[in-house]
Amino acid sequence: MSYCKTKSEERLEYNQLLDEFILGCKTTQKVGMEYERIPIVKVTNQVAPYGGDYGICEFIREFAKNDNWDYILDDIHIIGLKKLHDTITLEPGCQVELSIEPQEFIRDLKKRVEEIDKEMLPILDKFGIKLINKGISPTTTYKNIKLLPKRRYHLMANYLWGILSDVMMRETAGIQVGIDYKSEEDAMRKFRIANLIMPFATAMFANSRYRGGVDTGYKSFRALAWLNTDNERCGFATKFNDGMSFRDYVELLLDTPMIFINRDNKILNVNGRLTFRQFMNKGFEGFEAEIGDWQLHSNLYFPEVRLRNFIEIRNHDCVGDGLEYSIPALYKGIMYNSSALDEADSMLAKYSYNEINELRYNVARYAINSKLRKFPISGICKELVEIAFYSLKNQFEDEEKFLEPLMEMLKKNKVPADG
């Protein structure tokens, strides 16, 4: 394949990289939600394929006609839909992801999810497909799930190393939350505390115990899959230091290997042969770095908490029965209340990076029964939820109710994987 080589009119400058985060500062306090679910064929109980008369692609076509959504294409292939600020996209193993426009109130996120689900349901029924709220496919393993025909997914599958990277890409489904920040100081404080909270949240929402029809012995096999995927771009993007800045995050990204470059809808495989810093300094095969390359590279970095023009909190299994809204409620309650942030910070700051990092490995198996300094973390989890609950209650918007399913479950010392 040949590419038209072009040079940027101006050399990409370091300050442009910083601006991507500086321009994210805003006065709003909205919450965004990305909600992935696994499509299962009702008759066979296997993951629905992309192709075929009753595959996900045809479902997407029919749904678009019914409700006037626009196609998202990769080359000639339909890989999703968009309508105003909402999108429905397909993940590598055909997981269906709803990305909902950020809202001030969780009730509005819930309303929009329910509207879309109501619109999808009769078409899903016609195609004999159901969307399940699990963190991993309970029956079909990656060997029997074909990659979506999206070019970047094939490059990622070939590049990402780790013994469970194929599991992560094709079998798993999660829920991610987006939080606003108003300044660099605000961003980095929320970023640090979100990272500290992350293993506890992963534990509370663990929901991927059964895989390939068997009990894996892990409460969150999805979390285990991430632990065994390319640790150059996954894991923590901070050592929890108070002085971290946008510049520090940029430096991490600059030294991360690149996967590919996209130019005029053509993809040039880099395959880790250089970092973004090297690309900025020397170019690659006649191409010079552009701001679009930086944006793409940033989106191919997959830490537990990712900095964008908002803070993206990532490592939660997909859950249902109302718990899907407990996830944004937990972060809204803590992140948008300075007293709640102080409480969470005070409670967690005493733990070292090594302790919190080791906890990531334990919660995949034991969830809230994992131990930190010889004590189960269930008590810390309950305290975090209580902090969020009373923060939301004091806002008088009745949004603390979204935490009630989580609180009831924790009272029983259970997580979703316990059934």
Task: Specify whether the CB–CB gap between 106 and 332 falls below 8 A.
Answer: yes
Residue 3 pLDDT class (50, 70, 90 cuts): very low
**pLDDT confidence of residue 346:** 97
**Between the CA of residue 312 and those of 30, 92, 175, 350, 382, what are the distances in Å?**
12, 20, 11, 24, 23
Answer yes or no: is pLDDT of 5 > 50.
no
Spatial CA neighbour of 143 closest among 166, 168, 172: 166
Per-residue pLDDT at 341 exceeds 60: yes
Rounded to the nearest integer, the mean pLDDT of the chain is 96
Whether pLDDT at 242 is above 90:
no
For residue 355, CA distances in Å to 235, 252, 379 come to 14, 22, 17
Within 8 A by CB and 6+ apart from 406, the residues are 204, 323, 326, 330, 385
Q: How many CB atoms lie within 10 A of CB 361?
A: 14
Q: Which two tokens stand for residue 140?
A: 């079909």
Distance CA 61, CA 69 (A): 9
Rg (CA), the chain: 21
- What average pLDDT does this structure show over 262-268? 89
Six token digits for residue 201: 């949240």
Q: Residue 220 and residue 208: Cα distance in Å, rounded?
A: 5
Q: What is the pLDDT of residues 77-100, one digit of tens each?
A: 999 999 999 999 999 999 999 999
- Distance (Å) of CA 58 to CA 42, 46, 78, 85, 122: 16, 17, 9, 23, 14
- The confidence score (pLDDT) of residue 169 equals 98
Q: Tens of pLDDT along 11-68?
A: 899 999 999 999 999 999 999 999 999 999 999 999 999 999 999 999 999 999 988 9
Task: Give the SS3 label for residue 136.
Answer: strand
Give residue 200's identity as a one-letter amino acid code. F
pLDDT of residue 321: 97
**Which H or E run contains 381?**
helix 378-393
Go through the chain and tell me how many residues it has: 419
pLDDT at 7 over 70: no
Whether 387 and 340 have beta carbons less than 8 Å apart is answered as yes
pLDDT at residue 301, rounded to an integer: 98
Predicted local confidence at residue 25, as pLDDT: 98
Give the number of other CB atoms < 10 A from CB of residue 286.
11
247: nearest Cα among 20, 24, 26 = 20
In this prediction, residues 158-173 reach a mean pLDDT of 97
- Cα–Cα distance between 306 and 299 in angstroms, integer? 9
CA–CA distance, 389 with 46 (Å, rounded to integer): 38
Domain residue ranges in the chain: 14-256+301-418
Half-sphere exposure of 272 (CA within 13 A, CB side): 11
pLDDT-derived band of residue 4, with 50, 70 and 90 as boundaries? very low
Asked whether 303 and 237 are in contact (CB, 8 A), the reply is yes
CA 352, distance to chain mean position in Å, is 25
The reported pLDDT for the residue numbered 128 is: 98
In words, the CATH class of domain 14-256+301-418 is alpha beta
Predicted confidence (pLDDT) per residue in 125-160, tens digit: 999 999 999 999 999 999 999 999 999 999 999 999
Higher-confidence position of 284 and 1: 284
Instruction: Give the C-alpha distances (Å, rounded to integers) separating 121 from 74, 117, 128, 166.
Output: 26, 6, 10, 29
- Please give the pLDDT value at position 343: 98
For the stretch 278-305, pLDDT in tens is: 999 999 999 999 999 999 999 999 999 9
Mean pLDDT within 98-112? 98
> Measured between alpha carbons, how far apart are the two ends of the chain, in Å?
51
The secondary structure of 207-224 as a DSSP string is -B-EETTEE-S-SBHHHH
pLDDT at position 6 over 50: no
Q: How far apart are the C-alpha atoms of 382 and 410, rounded to whole Å?
A: 7
pLDDT score of 250 more than 60: yes
Q: In this structure, which amino acid lies at residue 186?
A: D
The H or E element that residue 268 is part of is strand 266-269
Strand partners, 36: 97
pTM of the model: 0.96
What is the structure's pLDDT at 1? 37
